[in-house]
Structure 1
Amino acid sequence: MNQRVIDLFDRYTHGEMDRRKFLEKLTLLAGSSAAALALLPVLENNYAKADLLPEGDPRIKTETVAVQGINVYLAKPSSGEKWPAVLVIHENRGLNPHIKDVTRRLAAEGFLAAGADFLSTAGGTPADEDKAREMIGALDKAATEAAARNVVAALRARPDSNGKVGAVGFCWGGGLVNRLAVTDPTLDAAIAYYGMQPDAKDVAGIKAPLLLHYAGLDERINAGIAAYEAALKAAGKTYELNVYDGVNHAFNNDTNAARYDKAAADLAWSRSVAFLHKTLG
């Protein structure tokens, strides 16, 4: 697919324009309204493909619990008593079927995985993704960070947790994981997929080891890499930074045909699982 089309979609999904303006620009790029409409199913997420590890798989157990007003989708191995815990933080579309699938996949890897819905206080993640993005944009930053810390504390205190807690986030969630690492000194590990970087002046507060995944074509997010890495090095922080050449923002999202890249997603996933076992096991 034309990279200009993917870049336009990325700008739209991150709030630079409304749907009407996006469709106008897409029509110009595609050459006609019919061609633009034909591109939409490829650009937008298809949650019919969100079950790499379906609900009901015998390897895992799932339930939904509440943590101080935040609904949390829990998945854990079907056998055993205690596991390392991992908070899973969604993209700017809320706790959708794809993120629930990621949560189940982590459970199958031997973790107590918790997909938190940070739109819970606004009524929960809606089916309408445009509405979800608007709701994400309206969240109070400090309150959201506090909610994430509350979930981390709740996971650590659970009797089925081994007492160690990490966090993994994607897109908006990757940015929140970076900020959580800054503001929660108890966090034991942090993985950010193509997430906005924290302010360089705040990096000194990070205690957790970091695993950072970036997409080579993601100019918007990658503009902050150099300053972040320089601050991490200056502060002597433990981190691993990977840039996956030739792939787009959201390359891990297997429900998005235009941006998903299986090779990069599989490599990043294997690195993430190994990192979590090393830091939390």
Structure 2
Amino acid sequence: MAGPQCCSNPPIINTSCGSDCAENYGGLNAYVTGSPNSKHAILLASDVFGYGAPNLRKLAGRVAASGFCVVIPDFFHGDPFVYDNNRPLAVWLKDHGTDKGFEDAKSVIDALIRKGFSAIGAAGFCWGAKVVTELAKSEFIQAAVLLHPSFTTVDDIEGVKSPIAILGAEIDNYSPPELVKKFEDILKARPEVDSYVKIFPKVAHGWVVRYDADDEAAAKSSEEAQNDMLQWFAKHVK
């Protein structure tokens, strides 16, 4: 029997992203890349700027190169946040709540399971981290990684059931180091949930996918976080 298809459509060759294609997963358009023979999938939940961000797709290529099928759904249905004084973030969020994102993510995971994937991990960035946290609380995934999370609370972390890694920034008003350390204390008190928490010095919120490629230090910090994420998935999504 053939393995699950990551990309059933003919792949588009893109020099910056590798072999990739656009598919519909659970009613959402998605950017998909990786081996069509992989049985292990990774869902990447974007920040508010959406699934088309170049650095996010570049990261998807790295994850795919490690042997995973990678899916980045368009949780915002063609309406990512843009800086516009006529539509501040608080207004945009009313139309794109993380609760709706969680429901959409479940549909994507159902589609992955129907395609035959035997293990699924998820990583979330900023807005997407809250969505992934909800998935980890409900055991829809085998492993979770939160990167510079927003909206995730202490109560959320107390409810997590899937192995989880949390990568935070030293300079972050959305998820300050003090809060991330609280997350770490909660997880340390719950040894039944494998966890890893790390705060990266001298970086700001969004550094993993919002870095300047010409800034060597910023790119290096992002790469370190990406490596941590890949190691976590290699450990748990198998």
TM over 0.5: yes
The separation in 2 between residues aligned to 1:187 and 1:56, in whole angstroms, is 29
Q: Comparing both structures, which one devotes a greater share of its residues to strand?
A: 2
The separation in 2 between residues aligned to 1:233 and 1:220, in whole angstroms, is 22
Q: Deviations over 1:212-248 (max 9, x none)?
A: 1111122441142233223223333211011111111
Structure 2, unpaired ranges of 5+: 1-11
What is the aligned partner in structure 1 of residue 121 from structure 2?
166
Structure 1, unpaired ranges of 5+: 1-53
Residue from 221, 224, 228 that aligns with 1:267? 224
Residue from 225, 231, 239 that aligns with 2:186? 231
Greater Cα shift, 185-194 or 218-227: 218-227
The separation in 1 between residues aligned to 2:223 and 2:97, in whole angstroms, is 34
For the residue of structure 2 that corresponds to 1:276, the secondary structure is: helix
Q: Deviations over 1:32-69 (max 9, x none)?
A: xxxxxxxxxxxxxxxxxxxxxx9535995322222333
Alignment of 1:1-281 (within 5 A): 55-57=13-15, 60-77=18-35, 81-98=37-54, 99-120=56-77, 124-125=78-79, 128-130=82-84, 133=89, 135-159=92-116, 161=117, 163-182=118-137, 184-196=138-150, 198-222=152-176, 223-236=178-191, 237-253=193-209, 256=212, 261-281=218-238
Q: Deviations over 1:177-221 (max 9, x none)?
A: 223212x31310101111036333343432211111111122441
**2:59 counterpart letter in structure 1:** V
For the residue of structure 1 that corresponds to 2:34, the secondary structure is: strand
TM-score normalized by the length of structure 2: 0.79
Q: CA deviation at 1:280?
A: 1.0
The separation in 1 between residues aligned to 2:16 and 2:213, in whole angstroms, is 28
Contact 1:216 1:243 in 2 (8 A): yes
Q: CA deviation at 1:116?
A: 0.8
User: Of the two, which has the highest radius of gyration?
Assistant: 1
For the residue of structure 2 that corresponds to 1:245, the secondary structure is: strand
The separation in 1 between residues aligned to 2:109 and 2:169, in whole angstroms, is 27
Q: CA deviation at 1:266?
A: 1.4
Contact 1:178 1:195 in 2 (8 A): no
The separation in 2 between residues aligned to 1:271 and 1:85, in whole angstroms, is 17
Contact 2:133 2:156 in 1 (8 A): no
Q: Comparing both structures, which one devotes a greater share of its residues to helix?
A: 1
Q: CA deviation at 1:107?
A: 1.3
Q: For this pair of structures, how many residues does the alignment match?
A: 220
TM-score normalized by the length of structure 1: 0.68
**2:24 counterpart letter in structure 1:** A
Q: Deviations over 1:156-194 (max 9, x none)?
A: 3314x3x10000111111232223212x31310101111
The separation in 2 between residues aligned to 1:217 and 1:246, in whole angstroms, is 7
